[in-house]
Copies of this chain bind each other. A is one copy, B any other.
Amino acid sequence: MNNQPIGICDSGIGGLTVAKEIINKLPQENIIYLGDTARVPYGVRDRETITKFAKELVNFLINKKVKAIVVACNTISATCLPELQSRSPVPVIGVIKPTVFEVVDNLKSKIIGIIGTRATINSKSYEEEIKKLNNSEIVFSQACPLLVPLAEEGFISHPATKIITKEYLQYFNDKKIDFLILGCTHYPILRNTIQEIIGKSIKIIDPAKPTTKELINILTTNKLLGNNLQPIRHFYFTDITHQTEKTIHIFFEGKFLGEMEKINL
């Protein structure tokens, strides 16, 4: 079981920011990544559609005999994580709970800002997880739907990206937040722009790190840590264009770390 792969799924390529962190911290693990590039973005769709698509992703990974599943996508984690967990024989880890635990319990935040897709923000999932840990936290959240296509197009520090980001983030101007959670896997790509606009005094939280920490905890507790000296990393996508490959290179900062294959779900 130990050397079976870790499964990571995402609505598209955004989850590669999480995959990268997992590969960095667990270099001896086999990895299967599945990105639903044929149907991305999920964050603009309704609950029923997101749940239907997410179940297909998880089924694919279960059939690949993974030992644990990381749902790298905030939208899926916010929309239907319990439904995915209840049908999986292996642990399914979302990004929201570990991130909230990091901010509320470890960093002792008092006022938290969250940005994400419309589906993630409307779900109020971050707020609910925060309430479970500490009812006195104050939370402000803001949907930033255009940041996904801007990141996908590589408009990283483009003037238009700055204007749009500024417009979205001005909501936080009078909120005195201590932390800003990047509640969408695409946003770490725009991290410098976001930090510049929100101000240096506000700590930005990327869910990739706490999620990876939670994965390591679960693998350790269940004695499932792998030790492959030549780990295999396989990246499946439901659609591959020239732009997909280009954006993958942006995500992995120039080096792509495994074999890529197109599949139908």
A positions within 8 Å CB-CB of B: 37-39, 44-46, 48-49, 52, 118, 145-146, 148-150, 152-153, 155, 159-161, 163-164, 167, 238-241, 243, 262, 264
Closest 5 CB pairs of A and B: A160-B160, A149-B149, A160-B163, A49-B239, A38-B49
- A44 close to B163 (CB less than 8 A): no
Contact (Cβ within 8 A) B159 A150? no
Contacts of A241 in B (CB 8 A): 44-46, 118
User: Which B residues lie within 8 Å of A164 (CB)?
Assistant: 155, 160
Give the distance in Å from the alpha carbon of A155 to the alpha carbon of B180 in the complex: 25
Cβ–Cβ < 8 Å partners of A149 in chain B: 145-146, 148-149
CB contacts (< 8 Å) of A153 on chain B: these are 145-146
Q: How far is the CA of A60 from the CA of B241 in the complex (A)?
A: 27
| Least distance between A222 CB and chain B CB atoms (Å) | 36
Closest B residue to A38 using CB positions: B49
Cα-based distance from A127 to B46 in the complex (angstroms): 38
CB-CB under 8 A from A159, the residues of chain B are 163
5 example contacts (A-B, Cβ-Cβ < 8 A) are as follows: A37-B45, A45-B239, A52-B264, A145-B153, A160-B164
- Find out whether the CB atom of A243 lies under 8 angstroms from the CB atom of B44: yes
Q: Whole-angstrom distance from the CB of A215 to the nearest CB of chain B?
A: 30
Contacts of A160 in B (CB 8 A): 160-161, 163-164, 167
Q: Which residues of B contact A238 (CB under 8 A)?
A: 49
A239 to B145, CA, bound (A): 17
Chain B residues lying within 8 Å of A161, measured Cβ to Cβ, are: 160
Beyond the given pairs A44-B152, A160-B167, 12 more chain A to chain B contacts, judged by CB atoms under 8 angstroms and listed by A's residue number, are A37-B45, A44-B241, A45-B239, A46-B262, A48-B239, A49-B238, A52-B264, A145-B149, A146-B150, A148-B149, A160-B160, A160-B161
